[in-house]
Amino acid sequence: DTEVTQTPKHLVMGMTNKKSLKCEQHMGHRAMYWYKQKAKKPPELMFVYSYEKLSINESVPSRFSPECPNSSLLNLHLHALQPEDSALYLCASSQEGSGSTDTQYFGPGTRLTVL
Amino acid sequence: AQKVTQAQTEISVVEKEDVTLDCVYETRDTTYYLFWYKQPPSGELVFLIRRNSFDEQNEISGRYSWNFQKSTSSFNFTITASQVVDSAVYFCALSAITSGTYKYIFGTGTRLKVLA
């Protein structure tokens, strides 16, 4: 089973709202990732968690705040977003911790619209 | 620096035609991994294949086949007898660890449209 789940599937929020994206995997994977994908563009890496610790932050603005409560769960807290943050947010996981070149398995994504 | 180039932005074929998606990569690392992912309109990236830099053996999986040539830094993907369900965006990706820094780089993707 290579399933990564993400909720919600769609989210519309105002610039003053606070919301969270959730990602879950039950494959025993040690690394989890957040990507941002704009229309007709490839995914861009945002954060990597390895063994529940943040290991990579690709200079993401502080209005995006990741959290890894346990090895199966990854959250992305959103606050004071801008309309240009509207995108598909993808979560992924891989067997090994970060710093590995292991295969990443992706969830279906959350389509975020910021008004 | 590492780079993945998918020069074909969009390809349209008629069902049952064969189609090849090109991927050219650049890296100075001797150890690296190459991937192909499929992204249907639903948005989920579906893993198709992973190949390491020391394994140049071509692979076939059903209607899919991959041709890895280190001499030309290419990792091309062929779909035989294409079907409408193959319509999607296909991404080639490169992963390597350079000077202790992990990189996972996607190409810009090729949109494949298979017409009935």
pLDDT of residue A2: 60
The answer to whether A104 contacts B43, with C-beta atoms less than 8 Å apart, is no
In chain A, what residues touch B33 (CB-CB under 8 Å)? 101
pLDDT of residue B100: 75
Q: Does the pLDDT at position B32 exceed 70?
A: yes
| CA closest to B95 among chain A residues | A101
CB count, 10 Å around CB of B51?
18
Burial class (CB in 10 A: 0-12, 13-18, 19+), B70: exposed
Q: Chain B: nearest CA to A107, how far in angstroms?
A: 6
pLDDT of residue A98: 62
B54 close contact with A: CB closer than 8 A:
no
Per-residue tens of pLDDT for chain A, all 115 residues: 569 999 999 999 999 999 999 999 989 999 999 999 999 999 999 999 999 999 888 889 999 999 999 989 999 999 999 999 999 999 999 998 766 678 899 999 999 999 9
Strand-pairing partners, residue B94, are B34, B105
Mean pLDDT over the full length of chain B: 93
Q: Which of B42, B50, B107 sits opposite A42 (nearest CB)?
A: B107
Q: Chain A: nearest CA to B34, how far in angstroms?
A: 9
pLDDT tens, residue by residue, A51-78 = 999 988 888 999 999 999 998 999 999 9
What Å distances lie between residue B94 and A35, A112, B50, B107, CA to CA?
A: 16, 27, 10, 8
Q: Which of B44, B100, B109 sits opposite A106 (nearest CB)?
A: B44
| CA closest to A37 among chain B residues | B43
B32 close contact with A: CB closer than 8 A:
yes
User: Are B68 and B51 spatial neighbours (Cβ–Cβ below 8 Å)?
Assistant: yes
Residue B102: pLDDT band (50, 70, 90) is: confident
In chain A, what residues touch B42 (CB-CB under 8 Å)? 108
User: Are B20 and B66 spatial neighbours (Cβ–Cβ below 8 Å)?
Assistant: no
Q: What is the mean pLDDT of residues B6-28?
A: 97
Residue B1: pLDDT band (50, 70, 90) is: confident
